[in-house]
Amino acid sequence: MKRPGLRTLALFAVALALAGGAVWFVRGRGPRPVRISGKTVASDGRPLSGVEVTLEVAPDDTEEEGAVERAGTVSDENGDFSIEYQSHWKAPSYRLAAAKAGYRELSVGSAETLKPPVMLRLAPVNP
């Protein structure tokens, strides 16, 4: 029986390393970061500053039931806000909430599908 040559063994080792790297690359890719940016405004369209904007991130049904992570910010004097979050879960769901004293809290589900700029319109508690 003929023994494989050094060149054949080297090519086999390279192919094995490439295959292992490809498997690691595919399995190692997690969810992409979510970036949500936009403006908080009153019902009449004027910018609202000081609005607490919170991104709530929950895992899908198969992971860590009941776990929720939050990332938040406060809108600036022009009503602008931006949140970037990197989840470690494979298939998280996102909910965006906005709150300010004197205004009704606003909640938006499936926030990962929102396209910037996101307009969060808050209605006063007593119009």
Do 63 and 112 belong together in one domain?
A: yes
The residue among 127, 78, 120, 70 whose CA lies nearest residue 100 is 120
The model's pTM = 0.70
| Total domains, the chain | 2
Say if residue 23 is in the same domain as residue 56: no
Distance CA 81, CA 75 (A): 5
Q: Do 66 and 88 fall into the same domain?
A: yes
Residue ranges for the chain with pLDDT beneath 70: 1-31, 60-66, 127
Tell me whether residue 41 is in a domain.
yes
pLDDT at 100: 98
User: Structural domain of residue 21, as residue ranges?
Assistant: 1-30
Residue reference for tokens 């992570």? 69
2 and 45 within one domain: no
Cα–Cα distance measured from residue 15 to residue 81, given in angstroms and rounded to the nearest whole number? 48
**25 inside domain:** yes
Contact status, residue 86 vs residue 33, Cβ threshold 8 Å? yes
Dump pLDDT digits (tens) for 6-16. 666 556 655 55
Inter-residue contact 34 to 89 (CB < 8 Å): no
